[in-house]
């Protein structure tokens, strides 16, 4: 019991104390096959995801993070008083996916579940939330089915919603009675590299929309869905602290979760792509956060290990300020340096091969003037079978090219196992393609 309390106290203390631990506990999203997954973000270096370091600090085994003891649902922690937006409102937890964690332009939404639960500190028990108190969550609206982008249906307005104006209900209400309002709203859409990082808006309020609510802890449940995958993620919980001190909030958490040792290992990790030099937080660009992270590691004299190898930008075996300087030179974002034309990098690859599943995702195939997206499955040696194909729009600077007459599929770069290959496949009929040529190339297009 002592160890358990100490563990949660430390988590809560770190969560509540922005100066000591200001990284957010974002929900990491990734896709595998036809399913979307949500889990703790543990990708080393990614901003907002430092739970690995947290567990290390706590001298706990990796993955020993809170889950509901009865259901095994992950519990994400948030604090209504964490941001300058004011009490009773928070943007946390955020949602993010690393590069290629999801498909390009994949639309991720949430689906609200269950009912709002409340931890009463006076009774030290979980129950329904006080009457009239609710958590309102505002998601993105632009991908709603009710959005209209036809000005002839919007009285001339370039964008409107189905009722001809913006009178849509853009909120989800978690109440003791269940879910009210719109149960599904958009989290965000990934960029061309499958990256997503966004925060929603949670408000604690009464039914009249007046901000505020009793001190305590609140629990909501949701799962994530994707427009590109059939299966939603496993449901997970978000635990909000509203004015409780560390011990009281830890008690609320302990009441939900079992002993740390009871916690099952996390689900399999997504495949980590190789980072571009200097991109230590794996958000597909080199920006000031990357430089700051390297400086911080250098200041702490962190030794190079497999988990932080990307911090050693110049690959001299030491993380020091010269790595930060090199990253600064490589910085490509606004306020560092704006490239006139984005250079072609490994990030531009239109094809990804997953060696574990044998699935070859071709995210942009150009055939004549038409673009497609397709998935092939490796069946026999050098033979791929076409699983799915659909018309799509151009997505990449250098797409896969398919010659209809010759049946040749030329992949300028397919990424797998940290390497890039140039590949050629031939259509041999019956939805089958034979690998005819495979050649390793550098990480960057010429």
Residues making contact with another protein (CB under 8 A):
18-19, 22-23, 47-48, 83-86, 89-91, 107, 136, 138-143, 147, 149-151, 155-160, 165-166, 168-171, 186, 188-189, 191, 198-203, 288-289, 291-293, 295-296, 299, 321, 324-325, 328, 331, 334-338
| Smallest distance, another protein to C-beta of residue 19, A | 7
**Looking at beta carbons only, is 20 or 122 nearer to another protein?**
20
Those residues whose C-beta lies under 8 Å from the C-beta of residue 25, and which sit 6 or more positions away, are 15, 40, 41, 48, 51, 76, 77, 78, 92, 93
Q: How far, CA to CA in Å, does 67 sit from each of 179, 187, 353?
A: 22, 23, 33
Minimum gap (Å) between residue 6 Cβ and another protein: 24
Least CB distance to another protein at residue 333 (A): 10
Rounded Cα–Cα distance for residues 434 and 295 (Å): 48
Nearest residue (CB) to another protein, 1 versus 19:
19
Q: How many Cβ atoms from other residues are within 10 Å of residue 222's Cβ?
A: 27
> What is d(CA 224, CA 245) in angstroms, rounded to the nearest whole number?
31
Name which of 68 and 188 has its Cβ closer to another protein: 188
**Structure tokens that stand for 117 in this block:** 């639960």
CB-based contact 136:202 (threshold 8 Å):
yes
DSSP secondary structure, 282-313, as one string: -SSS--HHHHHHHHHHHHTTPPP-GGGGGG-T
Q: At what angle do helices 288-299 and 321-330 cross, to 10 degrees?
A: 180
CA distance 7 to 374: 47
State the nearest-atom distance from the C-beta of 427 to another protein, in Å: 32
Q: How far is the CB of 56 from another protein (least distance, A)?
A: 17
Q: Which is nearer to another protein, 395 or 426 (CB)?
A: 395
Residue 311 backbone phi and psi in degrees, to 5: -70, -25
Contact 43, 242 (CB under 8 A): no
3-class state of residue 288 by DSSP: helix
CA separation for the pair 287, 395 (Å, rounded): 23
Residue that has been written with the tokens 């919980």 in this structure: 237
Q: Which is nearer to another protein, 204 or 237 (CB)?
A: 204
Give the torsion sign (CA, 24, 25, 26, 32): positive
Cross-strand partners of 408: 403, 426
Residue among 143 and 389 whose Cβ is closer to another protein = 143
Q: Which of 128, 61, 414 is nearest to 262 (CA)?
A: 61
Residue 90: CB minimum distance to another protein, A: 6
Identify the H or E element spanning 226: strand 216-226
Question: Cβ closer to another protein: 169 or 302?
Answer: 169
Nearer to another protein, 22 or 355 (CB): 22
How near is the Cβ of 91 to another protein at its closest, in Å?
5
SS3 407: coil
Nearer to another protein, 189 or 376 (CB): 189
Of the two residues 286 and 423, which places its CB atom closer to another protein in the complex? 286
Residues 262, 63: Cα–Cα separation, whole Å: 11
CB of residue 22 to another protein, shortest distance in Å: 4
Distance of alpha carbon 396 from alpha carbon 348, whole angstroms: 6
């Amino acid at each position: 019991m002592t160890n358990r309390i100490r563990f949660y106290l430390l988590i809560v203390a770190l969560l509540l104390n922005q100066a000591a631990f200001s990284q957010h506990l974002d929900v990491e999203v990734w896709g595998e096959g036809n399913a979307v997954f949500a889990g703790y973000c543990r990708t080393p270096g990614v901003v907002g995801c430092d739970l690995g370091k947290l567990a290390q600090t706590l001298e706990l085994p990796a993955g020993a993070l809170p889950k509901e003891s009865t259901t095994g649902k992950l519990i994400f922690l948030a604090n209504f008083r964490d941001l300058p937006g004011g009490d009773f409102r928070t943007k946390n937890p955020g949602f993010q996916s690393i590069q290629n964690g999801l498909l390009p332009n994949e639309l991720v939404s949430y689906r609200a579940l269950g009912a709002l639960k409340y931890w009463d500190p006076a009774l030290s028990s979980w129950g329904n939330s006080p009457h009239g108190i609710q958590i309102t969550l505002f998601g993105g609206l632009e991908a709603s089915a009710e959005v209209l982008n036809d000005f002839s249906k919007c009285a001339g307005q370039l964008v409107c919603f189905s009722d001809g104006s913006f009178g849509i209900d853009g909120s989800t209400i978690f109440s003791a009675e269940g879910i009210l309002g719109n149960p599904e709203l958009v989290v965000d859409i990934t960029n061309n590299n499958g990256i997503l990082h966004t925060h929603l808006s949670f408000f604690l309020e009464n039914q009249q929309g007046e901000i505020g609510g009793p001190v305590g802890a609140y629990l909501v449940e949701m799962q994530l869905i994707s427009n590109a995958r059939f299966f939603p993620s496993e449901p997970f919980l978000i635990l909000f602290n509203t004015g409780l001190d560390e011990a009281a909030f830890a008690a609320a958490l302990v009441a939900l979760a079992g002993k740390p040792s009871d916690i099952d290992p996390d689900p399999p990790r997504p495949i980590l792509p190789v980072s571009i030099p200097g991109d230590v937080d794996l958000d597909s660009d080199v920006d000031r956060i990357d430089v700051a992270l390297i400086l911080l590691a250098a200041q702490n004299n962190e030794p190079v290990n497999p988990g932080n190898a990307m911090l050693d930008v110049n690959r001299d075996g030491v993380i020091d300020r010269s790595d930060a300087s090199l990253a600064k030179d490589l910085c490509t974002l606004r306020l560092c340096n704006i490239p006139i034309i984005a250079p072609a990098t490994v990030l531009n690859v239109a094809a990804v091969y997953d060696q574990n599943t044998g699935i070859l995702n071709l995210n942009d195939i150009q055939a004549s003037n038409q673009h497609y997206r397709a998935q092939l499955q490796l069946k026999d040696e050098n033979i791929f079978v076409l699983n799915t194909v659909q018309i799509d729009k151009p997505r990449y600077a250098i797409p896969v090219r398919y010659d209809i007459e010759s049946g040749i599929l030329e992949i300028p770069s397919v990424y797998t196992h940290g390497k890039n290959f140039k590949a050629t496949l031939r259509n041999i009929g019956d939805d089958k393609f034979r690998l005819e040529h495979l050649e390793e190339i550098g990480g960057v297009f010429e």
